[in-house]
């Protein structure tokens, strides 16, 4: 999601092959043997197989909404958010969402763990509209899809938490054109099928 959002915002266009993770095409594994998505293959054959690197590549090419952090300090701050999000928070989210996959009776202690991070985000969002500052930026695009998953695991519980700033930020994200245009369900690609172009140009 975050790589797609950055590609759309930066007005890059790419061929998009939607992958079903249970049936990874050999073309994916050939490009990137670690077998995670997203993977971007550039025209010169360079492979970028980390979503943050794809975002950075796209936004460095064109950043009309100023998503990239401006100062070194902003980069550091963004990387700190990302490290916590992609590390401990993602781990807690997976266990909260799918406790049985991890042989847990429930995901409640992981919910408590994740909630600590969300409390921190809420505190930041009380004094500024976005994690990136006064406007939506890379930090918001990176974290919001994960916060969204956490929120929707038990939407009633999330709505009951005393985090109005975070709740408003998430609702705004879910209603944003950038998010909505990356949400379109795309059928899985199989070898030999025509390739889709992303983002689709509005006719």
Ligand X SMILES: N[C@@H](CCC(=O)N[C@@H](CS)C(=O)NCC(=O)O)C(=O)O
Shortest CB 34 distance to ligand X, Å: 8
Least separation in angstroms between residue 156's CB and ligand X is: 26
Residue 91 beta carbon to ligand X: minimum distance, rounded to whole angstroms: 12
Q: Quick check: helix, strand or coil at residue 25? A: coil
125 versus 131: smaller Cβ distance to ligand X: 131
Shortest separation between residue 22's beta carbon and ligand X, angstroms:
8
Burial of 176 by CB count in 10 Å (0-12 exposed, 13-18 middle, 19+ buried)?
middle
Contact 28, 19 (CB under 8 A): yes
Q: How far is the CB of 152 from ligand X (least distance, A)?
A: 16
Would you say 38 or 137 has its CB closer to ligand X? Answer: 38
Q: Which positions touch ligand X (CB under 6 A)?
A: 21, 35-38, 50-51, 86
Alpha helices in the chain (DSSP H): 2-9, 26-31, 51-61, 72-84, 90-97, 108-127, 138-153, 155-159, 164-174, 177-182
- Given the complex with ligand X, which of 28 and 125 has the nearer CB atom? 28
Q: Which residue's CB atom is positioned nearest to ligand X?
A: 36
Spatial contact of 130 and 136, defined as CB atoms under 8 Å apart: yes
Closer residue to ligand X in complex, CB, 39/125: 39
* Residue placing its CB nearer to ligand X in the complex, 36 or 168: 36
Residues 180, 1 contacting (CB under 8 angstroms): no
For the CA atoms of 186, 81, 22, 192, what is the dihedral angle to 10 degrees? Answer: 40
């Amino acid at each position: 999601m975050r790589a797609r959002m950055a590609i759309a915002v930066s007005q890059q266009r790419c061929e998009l092959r939607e992958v079903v993770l249970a049936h990874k095409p050999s073309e994916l594994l050939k490009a990137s043997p670690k077998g995670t998505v997203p993977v971007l293959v550039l025209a010169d054959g360079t492979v970028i197989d980390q979503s943050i690197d794809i975002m950075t590549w796209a936004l460095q090419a064109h950043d009309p909404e100023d998503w990239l952090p401006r100062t070194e300090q902003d980069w550091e701050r963004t990387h700190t958010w990302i490290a916590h999000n992609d590390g401990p928070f993602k781990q807690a989210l997976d266990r909260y969402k799918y406790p049985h996959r991890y042989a847990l009776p429930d995901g409640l202690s992981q919910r408590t763990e994740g909630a600590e991070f969300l409390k921190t985000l809420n505190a930041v969002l009380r004094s500024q509209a976005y994690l990136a500052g006064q406007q939506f930026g890379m930090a918001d695009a990176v974290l919001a899809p994960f916060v969204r998953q956490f929120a929707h695991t038990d939407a009633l519980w999330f709505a009951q938490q005393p985090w109005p700033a975070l709740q408003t930020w998430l609702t705004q994200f879910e209603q944003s054109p950038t998010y909505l245009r990356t949400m379109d369900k795309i059928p899985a690609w199989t070898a030999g099928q025509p390739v889709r172009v992303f983002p689709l140009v509005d006719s």
